[in-house]
Chains A and B, each alone.
Chain A
Amino acid sequence: MNTYFIKRFIAMIITLWLIITGTFFLMHSVPGSPFNEERTTNEAIQKNLEAYYHLDEPLLVQYGNYLTALLHLDLGPSIKKSSQTVNEMLGRGFPVSFELGFYTLILAVISGITLGIIAALRHNGVIDYLSMSIAVLGISIPNFVMATFLIEQLAVNFPIFPVATWTSPKHMVLPTLALATGPMAIIARLTRTSMLEVLTQDYIRTAKAKGLSPVKIVFKHALRNALLPVVTVLGSLAASILTGTFVIEKIFAIPGMGKYFVDSINNRDFPVIMGTTVFYSAILILMLFLVDLAYGVLDPRIKLHKKEAK
């Protein structure tokens, strides 16, 4: 088992390195730099600035410097917001994004799986059609439409919740709802499909023949088997939700990580682009690793340490 973890860890590092390398060179191959804006800067000043940020050095040297700094977990300074380092920006933004993402995930997973189970049990019934219509709506309505709709209804027409910002639990309700509908719908549909398949399996009939109650059949025998595909999508879903979504954070004026992603690209703020990408990738890789661990827990046939025997 330990060798599995070591191997896996090395693979994760290599993946991360590939992503860093790819992003670094892609980013520099895009025309433009942090300093060419519409207003013309004095050439000498621009030279000085480039020298200050080591942008005048050969690309490979810059790449080497970046990797060395990264080994010390130093993501570098922001070029546009000169008083801040990328570490500071992420340190401030990520906890907020994570909090929003965490509530969103919990809401999406619980309600999604519940909806999916109910729909599967009432297959082709009214509840099934109803919850699947909700799911289709949830998938097809973009979350910014959902967000503005929620604000209009629950903050303006019926002022139950505040319109924006992220200060008290009450402020968290609308953004969480808006962000959760999409993932919830995806999870609900997946759960339903996979549950329907599992419910036709022979071992479910065996469980019925034992005289077990429907509750036990669904939760003990069916759900665990039905959750595998759900767990699969949950990995990448979690990574993207936890690291913040630009649109929702913008609409609700939430000081999360999402805005740095987008701003940094517009600004050609190289260290911030790299920093957010590296951070997002690290979270994604970690989530995928957790998903693999969850497989082993859910399905005893998947033995993680067996892989190394091959």
Chain B
Amino acid sequence: MEKILQVKDLQVSFSTYGGEVKAVRGVSFDLHKGETLAIVGESGCGKSVTSQSIMRLIPDPPGRITYGEILFNNMDLIKLKEPELRKIRGAKISMIFQDPMTALNPTLTIGEQIMEGIMEHEKITRAEAKKAAVEMLQLVGIPSPEARLKQYPHQFSGGMRQRIVIAMALVCSPDVLIADEPTTALDVTIQAQILELFRDIQKKTGVSIILITHDLGVVAQVADRVAVMYAGKIVEIGSRREIFYRPQHPYTMGLLQSVPRLDIEKAELVPIPGTPPDLFSPPIGCAFAARCKYSMEVCERVYPVQSSLSNNHHVDCWLQDERAKKLVSTFV
């Protein structure tokens, strides 16, 4: 499959009063055309920072991309200057943010907010932009779009606002859509509708989606592939099937065990003990070692080499080494 976006060894740091926080410590992944890649992980694991780095939206200062490449159409986004970046933002790569309540400007009509994006990137008249906006609102399922264009964000419900944010992101038909926790601020019924909308739009437009979430339920519904992040690194990446049915990294297993399931009787929720490491001074070895019940001596000293279980299932874990004891998976 064609790779539309490649992230190679991305490293991002934030300078704070307490010192330098290494929020992202070498993340690599590819995004294929037309697929949905989910990046999952707990709060503070660097998933949002990764996504905002792709758009170069990390507030600088304090944030800084210290190393790595982000290849898009043979361009390294990290090396681009602001004016060139602006041509990509919103036009080729779009972003949807977590909270639709605050992501829209309260003092501008939603029509204006949708239209300004397309008018920035394409040479079209206002009337054409308006037509595009109406079509976009129809696509995301907002009834009587003509009339609603003139309304302000506060006149919409949360779910409707997220639809508008999605319309705004898609109006220039971008190649890549980055959705940073798009359903976290919504209640579950609306959440299901929005996820449905994502699948629908992908079918219609063929856009590639990076979905940032901590909700494995969301991942199960829409993702083609899943990347699991922990403490600023991707520890396991694979197809949705592989990750859900054959998780290899103890952290992935832990995540799956901490989610309630309906298909297993008497399945107790197993929390992952401990807390994530301090990213002021990240561990030299595997960051999860301190919380891992299979942890070995080597885990704390050396970061594991990546093992590939198949073409598209990779994991950073010493348990994959042939010298390690074979783990009898307790996970079904």
Residue ranges of A at the interface with B (Cβ–Cβ < 8 Å): 201-203, 205-213, 216, 220-221, 224-225, 298-301
Contacts and interface: CB of A to CB of B under 8 A. Distances in A.
Contacts of B152: 300-301
A210 B99 contact: no
B107 A201 contact: no
Interface footprint category on B? 20 to 34
Given A300-B152, A300-B154, A301-B154, A209 B105 contact: no
A164 to B, nearest CB: 45
Nearest to B109: A300
Interface string B66-85: 00000000000000000001
A283 B116 CA distance: 40
A113 to B, nearest CB: 16
B102 A202 contact: yes
A211 B91 contact: yes
Interface in B117-167: 117, 120-121, 152, 154, 165
Interface of B: 55, 57, 85-91, 94-95, 97, 99, 102-108, 116-117, 120-121, 152, 154, 165, 168-169
A212 B83 CA distance: 10
Interface of A (DSSP majority class): helix
Please provide the 4 A-B residue pairs with the shortest distance between their CB atoms, ordered closest to farther: A211-B89, A211-B90, A210-B90, A202-B102
25 contacts: A201-B102, A202-B99, A202-B102, A203-B105, A205-B97, A206-B103, A206-B105, A206-B168, A208-B89, A209-B57, A210-B90, A211-B88, A211-B90, A212-B86, A212-B90, A212-B117, A212-B120, A220-B108, A220-B116, A298-B107, A299-B106, A299-B107, A300-B106, A300-B107, A301-B152
Given A209-B55, A211-B88, A203 B102 contact: yes
A13 to B, nearest CB: 32
A203 B86 contact: no
Nearest to B165: A206
A225 B91 CA distance: 26
Contacts of B107: 224-225, 298-300
A201 B97 CA distance: 12
B253 to A, nearest CB: 35
A298 B85 CA distance: 31
Nearest to B98: A202
Given A202-B99, A205-B57, A211 B104 contact: no
B117 A210 contact: yes
A79 to B, nearest CB: 52
Contacts of B99: 202
A209 B94 contact: yes
B120 A221 contact: no
Given A206-B103, A209-B94, A216-B116, A221 B108 contact: yes
A210 B106 contact: no
B120 A211 contact: yes
A216 B121 CA distance: 13
